[in-house]
Amino acid sequence: MDDSDLVNRLLDAGVTMDEVLPESPSILMTLLLSYVVPIVIFIFIGRWLSKKMMSSMGGGPGGAMSFGKSNAKVYVKSSTGIKFSDVAGEDEAKDLLTEIVDYLHNPQKYTEIGASMPKGALLVGPPGTGKTLLAKAVAGEAEVPFFSISGSEFVEMFVGMGAAKVRDLFKQANEKAPCIVFIDEIDTIGKKRDGAGFTGGNDEREQTLNQLLTEMDGFDGSKGVVILAATNRPDSLDPALLRPGRFDRRIPVELPDLQGREDILKVHAKKIKIADTVRFDDIAKAAAGASGAELANIVNEAALRAVRDGRKFATQADFEESIEVVIAGYQKKNRVLSNKEKLIVSYHEIGHALVAAKQTESAPVHKITIIPRTSGALGYTMQVDDNEHYLMSKEELENKIATFTGGRAAEELIFHSVTTGASNDIEQATKIARAMISRYGMSDDFDMVAMESVSNQYLGGDSSLACSFETQTLLDKKVVELVKRQHEKALQILQDNISKLHELAKYLYEHETITGDEFMKILEAPEETPAAATEE
């Protein structure tokens, strides 16, 4: 814009020149107006522009101006100020990340004995479960800089730009080490490479991924650059990313259970004013299936509602209303278990756990949950073996089969029907049974084993092709018999412990997740009143 232009415009607008220019400007004033002010304005505009450019690179796929050499600089935050205490629940994830924090605090403790820290860890879980928040908390706890970039920002229009960005990011991270580099949505660059159906930009994406792999292999692990990446589609990742020395640690970040939801609500409610009468446990119950992000949203929505109604604080009703708003859309998109389904899944999982616990030589139950998993499972029972062993006895394998069938057995016993939820279990049980009979020679019938192994030698080990039709049929029959026997054993165990089955399933239904300790405590407690033992 030039001066005469401005003057003309001002005149057009009916402004007289007298108002624009002082009557008799001193030389100093003239100087100021004609040189200093334009320069100041120029600098100001320049700054504003560059700020704008940076923020446009911060979110969404890079804009037209997002190439250039030192992009990653803008992602540095010297301290996130976020601590683990800001992340409610997710204790498992926090436990796993604590080691990284400790390493960043005193690396010599690790390097002294020659231990090197994992270079990368993969945070895996559904959207909004706090993966980004956890990564920030790691940086906050360790008091190190935090670089953050989203996978989609690497995907550039021009071949080679993404790779350049990766190089640049690592260069800066190395300069700022120790630090945390966080790559969100890593699946956008880290998708399996062979995958058909990927159209366009293949070269670019592949180059970017290769650069990432090269950088990860190249940097010195003892410098203290830890790369955290997040994804909700771990299965789609290129296996190269998951190799040792890369993202070889997987940290599950799952949807919160009842207690977790209550804690998250409380963390966020600290930021708003609420009535004393608000009952977070009830709100958490009503918000079944909600993620951390959705719960944060519910709290905010409740506060907005209060303001709209001219109140000074949010009430129980505000929260209940906002659950409807936030969750309603969500429930349509995602399958949330109905109460009946929840009950079935509870009995199913306790079925597994109870059968496991009542057999000797069976790994102790570690955790049981009916929170749907990223994997698509409706619930799971986790057993952890204290001492890892590779040689399993026939009894142990049989017990494993019985444990797998325990879920279905519980459904049959209580609901007199089975759901599709048990199909994977039966598959697993059958797999073990087949291996026992054909490969490990655990069949009573030695001929069976011999035949199988002879034909395997001819045909390279694929047992489904290896046998003659008769052998296959015989084998199948044996497998089915074995699974059936174990299934009957499981039914018997549950029948014998029916009151505990009810009690534990009820407890799991209410709490959604229970630990192995809680499970054992209930199991070992004296029986409840006989009334609970009657079947419904």
The reply to whether 475 sits near ligand ATP by the rule CB under 6 A is no
Task: Name the minimum Å distance from CB 148 to ligand ATP.
Answer: 10
Work out which of 132, 315, 430, 463 binds ligand ATP, going by CB under 6 A.
132
Is the distance from CB of 160 to CB of 203 less than 8 angstroms?
A: no
List Cβ neighbours of 395 (8 Å cut-off, separation of 6 or more): 361
Work out which of 240, 293, 426, 498 binds ligand ATP, going by CB under 6 A.
293
- Per-residue burial over 128-163, b if 16 or more Cβ lie within 10 Å, else e, is bbbbbbbbbbbbbbbebbbbbbbbebbbbeeeebbb
Q: How far is CA 271 from CA 33, 83, 140, 281, 300, in A?
A: 48, 16, 20, 18, 9
Q: Measured at CB, which residue is nearest to ligand ATP?
A: 292
Q: Whose Cβ is closer to Zn ion: residue 303's or residue 356's?
A: 356
Residue 406 interacts with, from ligand ATP, Zn ion, none (CB under 5-8 Å by kind) = none
Does the annotation flag 292 for ligand binding?
A: no
Q: Whose Cβ is closer to ligand ATP: residue 74's or residue 183's?
A: 183
Residue 88 interacts with, from ligand ATP, Zn ion, none (CB under 5-8 Å by kind) = ligand ATP
Distance CA 490, CA 536 (A): 20
| Burial of residue 415, with CB atoms counted within 10 A of its CB: 0-12 exposed, 13-18 middle, 19 or more buried | middle
Work out which of 232, 419, 456, 492 binds ligand ATP, going by CB under 6 A.
232
Task: Name the minimum Å distance from CB 88 to ligand ATP.
Answer: 4
Does the annotation flag 425 for ligand binding?
A: yes
Pairing of strands 120-124, 247-252: parallel
Neighbours of 52 (CB within 10 A): 12
Residue 131 interacts with, from ligand ATP, Zn ion, none (CB under 5-8 Å by kind) = ligand ATP
Residue 425 interacts with, from Zn ion, ligand ATP, none (CB under 5-8 Å by kind) = Zn ion
Does the annotation flag 128 for ligand binding?
A: yes
Does the annotation flag 256 for ligand binding?
A: no
Binding mask 386-415 for Zn ion (x = CB under 5 A): ---------------------x--------
CA-wise closest residue to 437 among 380, 399, 476, 410: 476
Residue 139 interacts with, from Zn ion, ligand ATP, none (CB under 5-8 Å by kind) = none
Work out which of 267, 355, 357, 370 binds ligand ATP, going by CB under 6 A.
267
Q: How far is CA 152 from CA 198, 410, 464, in A?
A: 15, 46, 43
Looking at residue 458, what DSSP letter applies?
H
Q: Whose Cβ is closer to ligand ATP: residue 88's or residue 303's?
A: 88
Residue ranges in 161-190 that form contacts with ligand ATP under rule CB under 6 A: 184
Q: Whose Cβ is closer to ligand ATP: residue 126's or residue 364's?
A: 126
Work out which of 184, 294, 425, 503 binds Zn ion, going by CB under 5 A.
425
List Cβ neighbours of 154 (8 Å cut-off, separation of 6 or more): 162, 165, 166, 188, 189, 208
Task: Name the minimum Å distance from CB 267 to ligand ATP.
Answer: 5
Task: Name the minimum Å distance from CB 372 to ligand ATP.
Answer: 16
Does the annotation flag 127 for ligand binding?
A: yes
The rounded Cα 492 to chain-centroid distance in angstroms is: 38
Q: Whose Cβ is closer to Zn ion: residue 234's or residue 407's?
A: 407
Does the annotation flag 352 for ligand binding?
A: yes
Work out which of 101, 103, 122, 131 binds ligand ATP, going by CB under 6 A.
131
Task: Name the minimum Å distance from CB 242 to ligand ATP.
Answer: 19
Task: Report how far apart the first and last C-alpha atoms of the chain are (Å, whole number).
Answer: 84
**From 127-135, 308-316, 425-433, 436-444, span contacting ligand ATP (CB under 6 A):** 127-135
List Cβ neighbours of 514 (8 Å cut-off, separation of 6 or more): 367, 368, 369, 507, 508
Residue 232 interacts with, from ligand ATP, Zn ion, none (CB under 5-8 Å by kind) = ligand ATP
Torsion of CA 117, 120, 125, 126, to 10 degrees: 150
Distance CA 218, CA 173 (A): 13
Q: Whose Cβ is closer to Zn ion: residue 292's or residue 407's?
A: 407
Question: What residue type is 172 in one-letter code?
Answer: Q
Residue ranges in 84-103 that form contacts with ligand ATP under rule CB under 6 A: 87-90
Task: Name the minimum Å distance from CB 425 to Zn ion.
Answer: 4
| 349 catalytic per annotation | yes
Length of the chain: 536
The reply to whether 296 sits near ligand ATP by the rule CB under 6 A is yes
Active-site residue among 90, 206, 301, 349?
349
Is the distance from CB of 433 to CB of 401 less than 8 angstroms?
A: yes
DSSP secondary structure letters along 83-102: -GGGS-S-HHHHHHHHHHHH
Number of residues that bind ligand ATP (CB under 6 A): 19
Residue ranges in 191-230 that form contacts with ligand ATP under rule CB under 6 A: 230
List Cβ neighbours of 325 (8 Å cut-off, separation of 6 or more): 301
Does the annotation flag 403 for ligand binding?
A: no
Task: Name the minimum Å distance from CB 184 to ligand ATP.
Answer: 6
Task: Name the minimum Å distance from CB 507 to Zn ion.
Answer: 18
Place of tokens 């079944």: 288
Distance CA 143, CA 77 (A): 11
Distance CA 425, CA 352 (A): 10
Does the annotation flag 125 for ligand binding?
A: yes
Is the distance from CB of 412 to CB of 418 less than 8 angstroms?
A: yes
Distance CA 276, CA 388 (A): 50
Quote the crossing angle between the two packed helices 469-496 and 394-415, to the nearest 10°: 60
Residue 128 interacts with, from Zn ion, ligand ATP, none (CB under 5-8 Å by kind) = ligand ATP
Sheet holding 146-150, edge to edge: 146-150, 179-184, 225-231, 120-124, 247-252
Contact footprint for ligand ATP (CB under 6 A): 87-90, 127-133, 184, 230, 232, 264, 267, 292-293, 296
Contact footprint for Zn ion (CB under 5 A): 407, 425
Q: Which are the catalytic amino acids?
A: 349
